[in-house]
A and B are shown apart, each in its own frame.
Chain A
Amino acid sequence: EPEVTQTPSHQVTQMGQEVILRCVPISNHLYFYWYRQILGQKVEFLVSFYNNEISEKSEIFDDQFSVERPDGSNFTLKIRSTKLEDSAMYFCASTTGGNVGYTFGSGTRLTVV
């Protein structure tokens, strides 16, 4: 069964540092997403990406966040200057569109210290 792959599985970073979370979506999928889940809380939508541009973003996705699909296979989330409150699990997801299920990766646990 095809998978969404995320790396690294765990990242620890100092406050104020930049981090890049990486994802390889399923190859024939067209829509890509980042979600986050703070410990004990809901899964929250961050951003959706289609046709090489952001299609929607949440209030959480401010100027400190950016996404990129640099080479047609990787999909990255960059946080420019991390804050303590950015500590969370970050999930990448993808889908073909057409009212079918979305496939999520296993996540990257980001810890900002």
Chain B
Amino acid sequence: LAKTTQPISMDSYEGQEVNITCSHNNIATNDYITWYQQFPSQGPRFIIQGYKTKVTNEVASLFIPADRKSSTLSLPRVSLSDTAVYYCLVGSYNQGGKLIFGQGTELSVKP
């Protein structure tokens, strides 16, 4: 499984766009990039997944450059309720492979 590196913490203010970058230099050809969000005392929640270029859903956008060695999760106009830990995971889950969580990025949104 590809190792990922992301900032331990980030601060932001309400209404700002937040970009969290994840490095995954040894990503394999079959690997996908997936982001999860976790609030205190709750289970991780799937946010977005991509393979290349850009993916957008109602919650976030995921930008993946051509070499796929990094990715950026973009949260538009964050609110206080976006305060959470965000995890970047890389792997091939076609046959239900295990998810390996790192420490994640603790995002704190301030008023």
Q: How far is the CA of A4 from the CA of B99 in the complex (A)?
A: 17
Does B110 sit at the interface, judged by CB under 8 A? Answer: no
Mostly helix, strand, loop or mixed at chain B's interface?
loop
How many A residues are at the interface, by size bracket? 20 to 34
Does B94 sit at the interface, judged by CB under 8 A? Answer: yes
If the complex has contacts A43-B101, A107-B42, are A97 and B94 also in contact, measured as CB distance less than 8 A?
A: yes
- Residues of A within 8 Å of B99, CB to CB, are 33, 35, 45, 93, 102
Q: Is the CB of B34 within 8 A of A101?
A: yes
Q: Is the CB of B96 within 8 A of A95?
A: yes
7 contacts between A and B (CB under 8 A): A4-B43, A42-B101, A42-B103, A45-B99, A56-B98, A99-B32, A104-B44
The 6 closest A-B pairs by CB, nearest first: A101-B46, A104-B43, A31-B96, A43-B101, A91-B43, A97-B96
